[in-house]
């Protein structure tokens, strides 16, 4: 028997909240109770969702919302069974929504429990929606479409600039995209109020929208690969301002410089390309080619000095001689900026 049941998952936080509001309207919910797990596993949160879902309202539908159901289940088999039973045993007339927001970096690898939960929802006649945040190059079209849906007029070029300032052109895979559409929606509303009766222009965006592009550690190593000191310095500034741990950045840089040194040695010894790919990137041929190309932009002694400098920076940080930020900035200045000049 079907039930008013919704499973929403993805990394688009704003899109998921819009879907929840639409579902609440669809089932004519007059009451909505949200349950958020405090820990993992959290069987108490699942039990509370069961209790709220079974509660009937005198004046309309009582909607129970369980956010992060996979966190509530955790790695506990008992909690996972309890979560699936919540769906399978949902009383007639009850309304339940499950919202699972996932990290952008993991969006292509759905957990096994999510698949089982989706099957249980489908068996009960519920609906499953996936809301993925726009990827690189997709945010401008989303902004144009969302503006049309909300009766906001915006020039196409202005939408492009807005998307760029929010981070729509960033391609690194370690950034979180879940809040981009929410930020875009907020900025559109602000800009529309400022523009009044005319379309939002590029000048409006430049005057009112701050650059909130998310930081990426990969952006630093990618700039290192391309030997672009200015881009590396900017990516490092953003990462530190965003609160990325200095030792994590340092470890990423050390790993990449080590790969470049190994790549130079393998190419010098005429190692076959497939063997280079196996030893450097576990068989990823395209990534191995990128590292080999990057290694050719540096002399062997430069890479050795860079790696030694990173070890010295790591020691200075761990012995409290320097804080992570000045240690990283000093390394970048000595081994990339100064070398470029």
Q: What structural domains and CATH numbers belong to the chain?
A: 5-131 (3.40.50.300), 139-208 (1.10.8), 217-340 (1.20.272.10)
**pLDDT means per 10 residues in the chain (341 residues)?**
84 95 92 92 95 77 93 95 94 90 88 96 95 93 96 96 91 82 94 95 94 83 91 89 87 92 92 88 82 93 94 92 92 80 46
Strand partners, 99: 8, 67
Q: What phi, psi does 30 have (nearest 5°)?
A: -100, -15
9 beta partners = 100, 130
The two structure tokens encoding residue 73: 């289940």
| pTM for this model (two decimals) | 0.71
Task: Let me know the angle formed at the C-alpha of 301 by 245 and 228, rounded to the nearest 5 degrees.
Answer: 50
Place of tokens 């929840």: 20
Going by C-beta distance under 8 Å and a sequence separation of 6 or more, which residues neighbour residue 110? 9, 102
- 286 Cβ partners below 8 Å, 6+ apart? none
Query: Dihedral, CA atoms, 8, 13, 17, 18, nearest 10 degrees?
Result: -100
Query: Could you give the CA distance from residue 91 to residue 88 in angstroms, rounded to a whole number?
Result: 9
Helix-then-strand count for the chain, H and E: 17, 5
Burial of 54 by CB count in 10 Å (0-12 exposed, 13-18 middle, 19+ buried)? Answer: middle
263 in Cβ contact with 291 (< 8 Å): yes
pLDDT at 1: 45
What is the side-by-side order of every strand in the sheet holding 61-67? 29-35, 61-67, 95-101, 5-10, 127-131
């Amino acid at each position: 028997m079907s039930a008013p049941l919704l499973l929403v998952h993805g990394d688009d936080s704003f899109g998921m909240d819009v879907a929840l509001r639409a579902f609440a309207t669809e089932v004519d919910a007059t009451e909505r109770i949200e349950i958020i797990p405090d820990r993992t596993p959290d069987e108490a949160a699942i039990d509370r969702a069961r209790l709220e879902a079974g509660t009937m309202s005198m004046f309309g539908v009582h909607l129970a919302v369980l956010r992060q159901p996979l966190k509530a289940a955790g790695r506990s088999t008992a909690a996972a069974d309890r979560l699936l039973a919540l769906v399978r045993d949902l009383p007639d007339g009850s309304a339940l929504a499950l919202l699972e927001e996932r990290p952008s970096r993991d969006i292509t690898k759905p957990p096994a429990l999510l698949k089982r939960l989706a099957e249980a929802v489908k068996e009960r006649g519920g609906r499953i929606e996936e809301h993925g945040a726009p990827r690189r190059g997709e945010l401008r079209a989303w902004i144009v479409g969302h503006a049309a849906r909300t009766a906001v007029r915006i020039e196409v070029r202005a939408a492009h600039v807005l998307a760029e300032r929010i981070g729509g052109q960033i391609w690194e895979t370690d950034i979180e995209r879940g809040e981009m559409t929410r930020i875009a929606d907020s900025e559109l509303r602000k800009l529309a109020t400022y523009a009044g009766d005319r379309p939002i222009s590029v000048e409006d965006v430049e005057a009112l929208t701050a650059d909130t592009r998310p930081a990426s550690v990969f952006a630093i190593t990618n700039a290192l690969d391309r030997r672009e000191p200015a881009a590396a310095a900017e990516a490092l500034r953003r990462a530190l301002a965003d609160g990325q741990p200095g030792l994590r950045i340092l470890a990423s840089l050390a790993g990449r410089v080590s790969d470049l040194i190994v790549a130079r040695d393998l190419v010098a010894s005429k190692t076959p390309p497939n063997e280079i790919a196996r030893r450097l990137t576990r068989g990823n041929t395209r990534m191995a080619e990128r590292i080999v190309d990057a290694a050719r932009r540096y002399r062997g002694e430069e890479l050795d000095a860079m790696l030694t400098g990173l070890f010295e920076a790591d020691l200075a940080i761990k012995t409290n001689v320097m804080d992570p930020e000045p240690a990283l900035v000093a390394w970048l200045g000595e081994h990339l900026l100064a070398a470029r000049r």
